[in-house]
Amino acid sequence: MTKRNIYINAPLTRRVLSYFIDWYLGALCAAFPIAVVSQKLYGTMLKQNLLKIQQPYGFIAGIIGVIFALFYYIYIPFFVYKGQTVGKRICKVKIIQNNNQEVSLKLLVLRQGLGMIVIEGIFVSASALWHQLVSLCIHVNIVSMMMYVGFVVGGISTLMIIFTKEHRAIHDYIGNTKVVSV
């Protein structure tokens, strides 16, 4: 007979607080390489819009910024804190698979990378980098349009956390995960 862990869904207050902590720390990670390039090129770290930074430096800084964000949102919760970003660890909540098993790397990539950064696209600062990088590649500024799409999708996702029985966001469904108390 195998021992099966029993988890309860994380309270909304802890989930929201962990989100704000992670948003801030993830933003710092994503912005750091851009700030370094901006400081080197312009003497200020305030120029953060990749579309306004001399190319190819802006593109390279954006790619490195996304890598830093992925380190925070995927590497740390998989290799360092098993299902927890720093914010989730502080707030004593954890990402697990919907079947109550530890979250796999594949599901974290789906949840955090595809779900949060690419699809929901407004609640993580790395999404803005993603939108700017796509704009640089296709030579069409899609940042504003994607911001509005992100607001709608992110709003729906937030409502799902609040009002559905399982309290799972869109990114939880994409990654087949849930957030529980630990």
Residue 150 host element (H or E): helix 143-163
Q: How far apart are the first and last CA of the chain?
A: 23
* pLDDT band with cut points at 50, 70 and 90 for residue 6: confident
> 5 lies in a domain?
no
Average pLDDT over residues 125-147: 95
Tell me if 7 is assigned to some domain. Answer: no
Whether this prediction's pTM lies above 0.85 is answered by: yes
Instruction: Please determine, for residue 136, whether its predicted confidence score (pLDDT) is greater than 60.
Output: yes
pLDDT of res. 3: 56
pLDDT at 108: 97
Q: Which residue type does 173 have?
A: Y
Specify if 4 maps to a domain: no
Domain assignment present for residue 6? The answer is no
Is it the case that residue 42 has pLDDT exceeding 60? yes
Q: Output the average pLDDT for the chain.
A: 94
Asked if residue 99 is part of any domain, the answer here is yes
pLDDT band of 1, cuts 50, 70, 90: very low
Q: Examine residue 31 and state whether it is found in any structural domain, yes or no.
A: yes
Which structural domain range is residue 22 located in? 12-181
Number of structural domains the chain divides into? 1
Lowest mean pLDDT, pick from 4-13, 48-57, 137-146: 4-13
Q: Is residue 34 part of a domain?
A: yes
Average pLDDT over residues 3-9: 80
Which are the contacts of 65, defined by CB distance < 8 A and separation ≥ 6?
29, 30, 31, 32, 33, 34, 126, 129
